């Protein structure tokens, strides 16, 4: 949800700072069964010194959209970050500060003394305190109609808490919840048939949920850390990660989201029936 890497251009496009890894992924995805679930990729454009990826603007035509960013997978760090950390990664004071802000007791005595942590240590810690490692995804933030961004979902740990967040995000609107649910089931089918998905380690990628009063959709975004597997290796995406396996747990996160949405739909239906009954009773 940061706008630092983005520029909006005319004609329903968004420009995102060029990354070779992401451009390669988008190139493949345009010829893959996942294409309907990814923003349209229109190639590259140079503005001044910088090169940008041209993408479909997913908010185009929506009135006061509400947006939720869910970072998918059981880990948000790549395996080579782990290898680099062992070699002796640089200490990051900015990540140490973020850690202390969220939990002053999180850094070790040594890290407190150095006032720094490695990037890998920070990412691993972030995954462990959120639902990333348990549910296979985490809610990074929600932007409401008025443009306010809420990030207090980052410490969610249970499916029941996710369900509550979904009801808040959709204001318990059944149509919206159902549209999201069926879109995720369709995505699940597309992932099963996707050569891209089978042969890529998908790290730090998000599902972007977007709705306004009339429509709702979900999109796969952010492929800057998604890398092809070496020679004819394939991933299952539905098993926990162990070092060297390269498994990302993407499908673990997807099934958690589908389960939470189903739960949210039943809560919202029940709320609707309750309020209908109350209306009938009141004179």
Cα angle 19-21-24, degrees, rounded to a multiple of 5: 105
Looking at residue 272, its pLDDT comes to 87
Which residues make beta-bridge pairs with 150? Answer: 142
Q: Mean pLDDT, to the nearest integer, of 46-60?
A: 94
Looking at residue 120, its pLDDT comes to 86
Looking at residue 52, its pLDDT comes to 95
Token pair of 225, please? Answer: 């850390």
Looking at residue 7, its pLDDT comes to 67
Burial group, residue 228, by CB count within 10 angstroms (0-12, 13-18, 19+):
middle
- Of the pLDDT bands very low, low, confident and very high (cuts 50, 70, 90), residue 231 is confident
pLDDT at 245 over 60: yes
The model's pTM: 0.90
Tell which residue, 176, 181, 161, has the closest CA to residue 261.
181
Query: Could you tell me if 247 and 258 are in contact, meaning their C-beta atoms sit under 8 angstroms apart?
Result: no
Looking at residue 152, its pLDDT comes to 85
Looking at residue 37, its pLDDT comes to 98
**CA 210 vs CA 59, 60, 67, 252, 281: distances in Å:** 8, 11, 5, 22, 36
pLDDT at 6 over 70: no
Which residue has better confidence, 122 or 29? 29
Residue 263, CB half-sphere, CA atoms under 13 Å: how many?
16
Looking at residue 53, its pLDDT comes to 96
Is 92 strand, coil or helix?
A: strand
């Amino acid at each position: 949800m940061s706008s630092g890497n983005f520029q909006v251009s005319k004609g329903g496009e968004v420009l995102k700072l060029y990354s070779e890894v992401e451009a390669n992924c988008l190139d493949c995805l345009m010829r893959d069964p996942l294409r309907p679930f990814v923003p349209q990729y229109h190639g590259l454009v140079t503005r001044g010194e910088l090169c940008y990826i041209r993408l479909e603007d997913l908010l185009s035509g929506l009135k006061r959209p509400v947006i939720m960013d869910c970072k998918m997978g059981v880990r948000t760090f790549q395996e080579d970050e782990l290898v680099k950390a062992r070699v002796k990664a640089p200490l990051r004071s900015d990540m140490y500060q973020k850690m202390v802000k969220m939990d002053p007791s999180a850094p070790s005595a040594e890290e407190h003394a150095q006032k720094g942590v490695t990037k890998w240590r920070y990412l691993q810690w972030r995954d462990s305190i959120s639902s990333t490692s348990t549910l296979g995804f985490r809610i990074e933030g929600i932007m409401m109609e008025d443009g306010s961004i809420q990030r207090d979902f980052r410490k969610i740990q249970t499916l029941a808490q996710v369900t509550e967040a979904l009801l808040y995000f959709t204001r318990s609107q059944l149509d919206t919840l159902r549209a999201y649910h069926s879109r995720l089931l369709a995505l699940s089918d597309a992932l099963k048939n996707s050569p891209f998905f089978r042969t890529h380690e998908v790290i730090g990628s998000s599902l972007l949920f977007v709705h306004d009063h009339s429509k709702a959709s979900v999109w796969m975004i952010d492929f800057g850390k998604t890398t092809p597997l070496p020679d004819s290796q394939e991933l299952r995406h539905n098993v926990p990660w162990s070092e060297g396996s390269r498994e990302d747990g993407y499908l673990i996160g997807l099934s958690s989201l589908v389960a939470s949405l189903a739960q949210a739909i039943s809560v919202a239906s029940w709320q609707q029936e309750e309020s209908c009954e109350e209306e009938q009773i009141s004179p």
